[in-house]
Structure 1
Amino acid sequence: MGRSRVRDVEMTYPLEGVRVLDLSRVLAGPFAGRMLSDLGADVVKLEPPNEDLTRLWGAVIGGVPGYFHQQNAGKRDVCIDLSVPEGVALAKQLAAKADIVIENFRPGVMDRLGLGYRQLKAARKDLILLSISGFGQDSPESQRMAYAAVIHAESGLVKRQARDGRPAQ
């Protein structure tokens, strides 16, 4: 990404030179990575061999799936299988070169993969780990999946959308 020219004024992006490894999927994590990319960070998205699920979502125009590309525009993409030791080793190598790692697995998954904060921090002391979860890392609800519909229901947003005493549609 680097630099841009606007009205003959050279501009730099605030996160130019920052390296990000994006291990996330669906919305919250990919959107965070997209924002960092928009601000100039070099974001590498790790995608499983069977594709990111969101490549199948939404309208496809000219062979390009809109939802996936909206959340992942500006990122580089690498296919790595985290279910095999060689894939985990590759992810660790990428994380060791990153300034920021983004993940939104349920709590404990990254540790079980060998990619938890302590394991990654051993290779990169100043690493920032952005770990996104809907119900925290150690709450009684921490192992629950947390997609938008769940959060909307739990927060009362669905009830607030009701009109004229009728349930929300």
Structure 2
Amino acid sequence: MKLTGLKVIDLSLFLPGPYLTLALCDHGAEVIKVEPPAGDPGRGIGERQGGHAVFFRNLNRGKQSLCLDLKLEADRERLLRLCDEADVFVESFRPGVAARLGFGQETLRGRNPRLVYCSISAFGQDGDYAARPAHDLGVEAMAGVLSMSLGPDGSPAIPAIPVADVLSGLHGLSGVLMALLRRESTGQGDYLDISMLDSTVGACLNILGPTLAEGRQPDPREERTTGGSAFYRVYRTGDGGHISMAGQEPKFVHCLLGALGRPELAELVLQGPGRHQQPVVDYLTGVFLTRTRDEWDAWLGGLDVCYGPVKTLPEALADPHLARRAMVLTDDAGLRHIGSPIHFADEPAEPDFTVPALGGYAGPDTHR
């Protein structure tokens, strides 16, 4: 669905809120990014290309930047006037800050009852941790996710992507769209309290069986998702690469072990995850060392098995499949961008690759 005509005011910084509003922007919404005089810190994160930090470009393309000092009464009044005509408002301050500055949800929704107001914070607007600062990794630790993400030495390992940031952005996006749908029938907006911790705990449903049923920590040696299954783990290949086996349904197990000439091992896998699968793990460990990653990829690709070669990021982005899916796009300057993962048949996303200049918004309410 095209979101043309939807006006979004985005006061969020870094990743969760901008990730939410990026999806709205890619699908036609007007997103006005309100930045402090120094700009979003994301403008200075990481490598630069085409005059901009790639981190900032990836999350804020197509938006418009309005520079406001919210400690100044005149700038706060400008923000209030913008919000009077807005459909969505997103902020990521610590709880209570927006209200103290004069643009809390009660104030803005009192002036504009149709407004959908979304707050994204580490721990939510209430509760014991509400005032505590946190970024993604701390939230993952408190959600229990790091305790289940173990490295080879059994210690917690840092995930490569910011799980709590992305999950809270996606939950915020879902909530905003649901509230907009509800507004169609009620005429009223709503307030969304999105917590990074809640979002991360809510994503653990598939690993919580032992905890909810027996009150215990899952044993990594027994659980499918943490190495307890021979068909759900990563194996080293002969050239130093890796292959991930990623599905233990019976048809996949029988297919692979049959093709390898060891069908009798399937019985151990089909008993479920656990240490009894160690003979299968040992066998596959040895077998995968006999060929290179790409040789295994070619051979496994001819079977009905669930697997994936472990690619580097450059290899992943060079895959023609992603190009065909419009997930890697090139602008007129030859710079590559990541496309929208939301694929509509009738009204696909139309990303605008323009990077907003700090304070460059030229809308109707920019006068002092």
TM range (shorter): 0.7 to 0.9
Structure 1 residue 108 displacement after superposition: 0.4
Name which of 80, 85, 88 aligns with 2:68: 80
How many residue pairs were aligned?
157
Match runs of 1:157-168 below 5 Å = 157-168=145-156
Mind listing any 5+ residue stretches in structure 1 that lack a counterpart? 1-12
Matches of 1:164 and 1:125 in 2, distance apart? 53
Query: How big is each residue's C-alpha offset from its partner over 1:96-134, in whole Å with a ceiling of 9 and x where there is no partner?
Result: 111000001111011000000111112211111011112
Match runs of 1:59-138 below 5 Å = 59-138=47-126
Structure 1 residue 164 displacement after superposition: 3.6
Structure 1 residue 14 displacement after superposition: 2.3
Matches of 1:88 and 1:102 in 2, distance apart? 16
Matches of 1:72 and 1:81 in 2, distance apart? 20
Structure 1 residue 62 displacement after superposition: 2.4
Structure 1 or 2, whichever has the larger Rg, is 2
Counterpart code for 1:56 = G
Matches of 2:63 and 2:32 in 1, distance apart? 6
Matches of 1:53 and 1:40 in 2, distance apart? 25
What's 1:23 paired with?
A: 11
Matched, 1:37 2:25: yes
Moved more, 40-49 or 150-159: 150-159
Moved more, 152-161 or 14-23: 152-161
DSSP 3-state at the match of 2:38 = coil
What's 2:143 paired with?
A: 155
Matches of 1:62 and 1:165 in 2, distance apart? 41
More strand per residue: 1 or 2? Answer: 1
DSSP 3-state at the match of 2:121 = coil
Counterpart code for 1:85 = E
Query: How big is each residue's C-alpha offset from its partner over 1:122-156, in whole Å with a ceiling of 9 and x where there is no partner?
Result: 22111110111121111111111231111111112
What's 2:331 paired with?
A: none
What's 1:7 paired with?
A: none
Mind listing any 5+ residue stretches in structure 2 that lack a counterpart? 158-368
Matches of 2:117 and 2:94 in 1, distance apart? 14
DSSP 3-state at the match of 1:67 = helix
Matches of 1:54 and 1:61 in 2, distance apart? 14
Q: CA RMSD in A?
A: 1.3
Q: TM-score, with normalisation over the residues of structure 2?
A: 0.41
Structure 1 residue 168 displacement after superposition: 3.2
What's 1:5 paired with?
A: none
Matches of 2:137 and 2:127 in 1, distance apart? 20
Counterpart code for 1:120 = L
What's the % identity of the aligned pairs?
A: 36
What's 2:177 paired with?
A: none
Matches of 1:168 and 1:102 in 2, distance apart? 33
Q: TM-score, with normalisation over the residues of structure 1?
A: 0.88
DSSP 3-state at the match of 1:135 = coil
Matches of 2:140 and 2:43 in 1, distance apart? 24
Matches of 2:91 and 2:50 in 1, distance apart? 30
DSSP 3-state at the match of 1:132 = strand
